Structures are given as C-alpha cells and as structure tokens.
Structure 1
Amino acid sequence: MTGIPRRRALLAAATGLAALAGCSGSDSASNSYPSDDRRIDGYEPEKARDDTGGALVTAGDTLPSLSSDERASQRRMTRRVLVADDDLTELTFAETTAGEMLRSFCDATDFGSGSVYLLAMPINACRESRLRSVSIEPDELATGDLHPHADFCRAYRPADVGCDADAVHTVGFAIRIPVAADRSTGGGHGMRRSCDPRDRPTVFNGSASPVTETGGDDA
C-alpha cells in the first residue's frame, strides 16, 4: 500500500480509527477524512531545555548569535515540519546537550513511516512548557501535505528548582508523528498561559521572593 492509501492506513492507526472512508477502494480525497483536525495517538515527544537561553536550531549553516536587541527572542524560535531526510540536513543544531538531544531524536526518525514537528521557543526561567496534545489536518494530508498542530500549556517549575525570575531559557520539542507525508507547508501551535492555576508554588528557592505573574508572553 503506497501513496494516499498508505497515508490513510497510517492515519487510521494513529488516530485510533478502525477505518476511514476510501480505504476500501475509493481514492477520492474529499471523502477520505473529516474536515476538522484529528488528534494523533502514539506520538513520541522529546523535550530539551537550554538554561543559557541560546538558540537550539536554525535553518542554515550556522546558528544565529543572541544579542541584547529586540530580535533576540525571535532567534530562539523555530517551527519546522520534517517529512524527509533532506529536511533534516537543512538544519543546524546547537552543539550543546539540548541541541544534541533534539538532533539525535530527529535523526532516528524513519521518514518512510513518520514525520517530526520541531519547535523551539523562549521561556521564563521559572516556567516550563508542557505538551498537551497533537493533531493534524486530515484534509490536507489527503494531498500529501502535513499540517500538524501542537497544544501546550505553561506551569511553574517545582519550588525546589532555583531560578532567576528575570532570566530567559530556551525550550525545544521534537514530536515524532506516526504519519508519513510528501511535504509540509507549515504547522501551528497553541499555548495556554497556565496548565493549572493551583500549581503555583509560594516560592521558587530559599532566597527568592514569590514571582508575580504579569500579562503578555512569559519570554
């Protein structure tokens, strides 16, 4: 089973569906998938954090240097969908523990049966991002175009983790999705400001005062 029929079978397994319209012989994309996003089961996440706030990955030969200007936050951000080995060779990962974790995870992916959604973003040193769910647009996948969407939330780190409330770290996620595709024209993500309002500790370390939450992004 190759091409669109093979993607249908992979999607059926990933979403827990017993069958999809069209698997029994029809190749009509318009009848193959529901129009809404379909949550994916069985995805594999890898999470890495750089407490120096450095860039983790970029599309190019060298990583951008971080400066104190207003673009520093943008240089920490990455959002790429990898559907083939060539997509991976276009990227440069930081030669750090966090960068190597993401690179090794992506490199171990069999792109004949899966893909990787790679994201990196700045985050306040006293916060953490948690992956809540992953979904795709089945209608786009019917034409070979993978559009993943990842939902995250943010929580305070455990109270025994020392942190500087004014510092910025970088966090990266590599999400292996058990669905193959011919290409990707992009993906999206959402971020809830709080995973659970009850998880806020009273202090982060013995010498720090409680952090007051403010509006806007935590970065």
Structure 2
Amino acid sequence: MTDVPRRRALLAAAAGLAALTGCAGRETATNSYPSSERPIDDHEVESVRDEGGRALVTAADELPSLSADERALQHRSARRVLVAEDDLAALTFAETPPGETLRSFCAETEFDAESVYLLAMPIEACRAVRFRSVRVERRPLAEGDLQPHAAFCRAYRPADVDCELDATHTVGFAIRMPVAADRSRGSGRRMSGSCGPGAPPAAFNASDAFDASAASGGEDA
C-alpha cells in the first residue's frame, strides 16, 4: 500500500482543508453537523435489495440459511468498515445478484485513498430504505481511525410495486468515501421513520398501521 497519498487524503479530511473531488458521487450531504464531524460529499453509493430476505454478507465462512434458522432476521443486519484489502477478504458475500453487486463494488475500491462503509438490514417488503448522507469523526480520523456515520430514512415503495405486507426483504448499501485510514474502531447509523411529508400511496389500505410517507430524493433499496 502506498503510504504518502493515503496520508495526504487522511490529513486533508481530518483538517477539513481539501475539497475531496474526483469521485462521481451520486449523493450530496445537505444536513449540518457539529464541527467534530465532517460531512463527506464526494462519495459513491451502491444499493441492493434481496426480495428473498436472505443475508447479504457475513464475517463467517457460511451465510445463515433462513430455512435452517428462522431467527436469521438478526443475521440479515451487518455493518462493516473496509479500509484495506484484508478487510474485504475477511467477508463472505451471498452468491446472489445483490450479494455479487456489493462484492464487486467493494472490490473496485482503491484502498490507498478510499474506504467503504458496508451496511445491510431487514426491511418490510412494501417499504424502502433511502440513503441520505455520510460523515466521519474528525479527531479519530486524524489518528488513522475511520469512524463513519450514515443517515437513512424509510419510505413507501411506489404504488405499482407488487409486495406482500407481511414479508421481509434485505437491503444493502456500500458507501465508498475518498478517505483512507489505518483502521476502524467504530461506526454509526441513524434511521428516520419517514423521508418527508405526504400520504401513503393509493394502493395501500389507509386502515393498515403504517407510520410514514412518500419519499423524495436519495439512494434507496
């Protein structure tokens, strides 16, 4: 691993002096954060959805089977920060189109100057999770420790999407950031109950106990 360019990116991000450009990020953070945290604007996001509700990634050798373990709901959740090739090699991705998409995206990362925040979570079949922003802690980053925090919200899927109200899907996000680090000792995730004001799509029965609204903007799955 080339140390000089990595250190330049690391120190620039920590000091907030560099405009991190060169990545075709599809999302821009719009929220304001405390001075101890740095929003990352130039990021790339890959999102996937497994409608079978299977696990997408694990640190174990084998992914849990829903048929063998009905409690696999807990295994659908994953949160990993990848700062080196070894971090990626330690993961097992599902041999499914969503799993392969996440694996390929992570494998394209230049870890000398980039890192990836990888997340997976269960979601109701008729709902979507929408990515909003990502930020990092300045002080740990200055010491080579990347601690990212990602913000998401839940939204209804479009009314023309065929879905079962009592089914559970799995969604995954890989967020590539133009920041390098030596390690990661922590990460965070914030989930809002809705993505904005509005009413449920007409296809839904108003008597059903849903609590949120139509979505607007963002990368979703």
Which residue pairs with 1:13 in the alignment?
18
- Asked if 2 retains the 8 angstrom alpha-carbon contact of 1:141 and 1:181, the reply is yes
Which residue pairs with 1:81 in the alignment?
81
**Structure label with greater radius of gyration:** 1
Amino acid at match of 1:57: V
Amino acid at match of 1:36: S
Which residue pairs with 2:141 in the alignment?
141
Alpha-carbon shift at residue 69 of structure 1 (Å): 6.2
| Partner Cα distance (1:88, 1:190) in 2 | 24
Relative to the length of structure 1, the TM-score reads: 0.82
- Asked if 1 retains the 8 angstrom alpha-carbon contact of 2:115 and 2:180, the reply is yes
1:123 aligns with 2:123: yes
- Asked if 2 retains the 8 angstrom alpha-carbon contact of 1:35 and 1:139, the reply is no
| Partner Cα distance (1:188, 1:70) in 2 | 27
Taking the TM superposition and a 5 Å limit, the aligned residue runs for 1:1-219 are: 1=4, 4-10=7-13, 12-13=17-18, 36-67=36-67, 71-198=71-198, 200-204=200-204, 209-210=205-206, 211-213=208-210
Unmatched 5+ stretches in structure 1: 17-33
Closer/same/farther in 2, CA of residues 170 and 90 from structure 1, 3 Å limit: same
| Partner Cα distance (1:95, 1:45) in 2 | 20
| Partner Cα distance (2:66, 2:109) in 1 | 30
Unmatched 5+ stretches in structure 2: 22-33, 213-221
Alpha-carbon shift at residue 35 of structure 1 (Å): 5.2
Closer/same/farther in 2, CA of residues 50 and 8 from structure 1, 3 Å limit: same
| Partner Cα distance (1:123, 1:150) in 2 | 17
| Partner Cα distance (2:67, 2:124) in 1 | 17
- Number of equivalent positions: 194
Which residue pairs with 2:215 in the alignment?
none
Alpha-carbon shift at residue 38 of structure 1 (Å): 1.0
- Asked if 2 retains the 8 angstrom alpha-carbon contact of 1:84 and 1:115, the reply is yes
Alpha-carbon shift at residue 14 of structure 1 (Å): 5.2
Alpha-carbon shift at residue 186 of structure 1 (Å): 1.9
Amino acid at match of 1:200: P
| Partner Cα distance (2:8, 2:40) in 1 | 18
Relative to the length of structure 2, the TM-score reads: 0.81
| Partner Cα distance (1:157, 1:36) in 2 | 35
| Partner Cα distance (1:52, 1:73) in 2 | 12
- Asked if 1 retains the 8 angstrom alpha-carbon contact of 2:148 and 2:187, the reply is yes
Closer/same/farther in 2, CA of residues 3 and 163 from structure 1, 3 Å limit: closer
